[in-house]
Structure 1
Amino acid sequence: MSAIYHNSMAALDKFVPNKLRPLWQHPAGPKTVFFWAPIFKWGLVVAGISDLQRPVDSISIPQTAALAATGVIWARYSVVIIPKNYSLLSVNSFVAVTQLYQLFRAVRYQQSLKAAA
């Protein structure tokens, strides 16, 4: 499988314009998982933003807390690894922010229920 990948990348190298070569050759560029993993993780951000319309009583606090923690942990990790991966930092920051906001909404709702009772 690795040979197929390397042969494919070698064939694609010929078609990359000179202006895009620095990005193409970068250690966190399109030839690596460091590029594609954050690209696909933007789906979590889109899902998190669409969940902002979700009724607050249907928010799972454990799930939201886990996603928020994941965002924070991976955002931190993205700046201590070599090469630094700012794409990973940005996507995980967005995941953390959207989930922390959802967590705030859910906790505030739970507190309002306790205060009403």
Structure 2
Amino acid sequence: MGGPWDETEKALHINALELKAAEFGLKSLTKDKTDIHVHLKMDNVSAVAHINRMGGTRSPILLKINREIWEYCLQRGITLTAEYIPGVLNEIADWESRHTESSNNWTLNRAIFQQISTK
């Protein structure tokens, strides 16, 4: 999954973009799921902290995005945790996010998704 940020999103701080990416991924992978646990591995300390603490106090935009994430989770009975992983251990995802030709034909490998979903 993936794609370019729209013009409004491009203006957001990197911490907000990281939370938006988590939100988009979460919604994409769980749209037909309820009562599950999702564990995100992210290379942004601020985004991880906001998810694990269910918000923060310094940034209204981060609080807004986080609230949208948690409202989505609560509606579906999804428990959510996040774990920080250093960027050097996240090289593939990091590279993929910066080198896109077209997002029109992106898909997640169904077998891998099924494997992730059953854990």
TM-score by length of 2: 0.37
Q: Which has the higher helix share?
A: 1
Structure with the larger RCO, 1 or 2 (CA within 8 Å, 6+ apart):
2
Larger Rg: 1
TM-score by length of 1: 0.37
Q: Which has the higher strand share?
A: 2
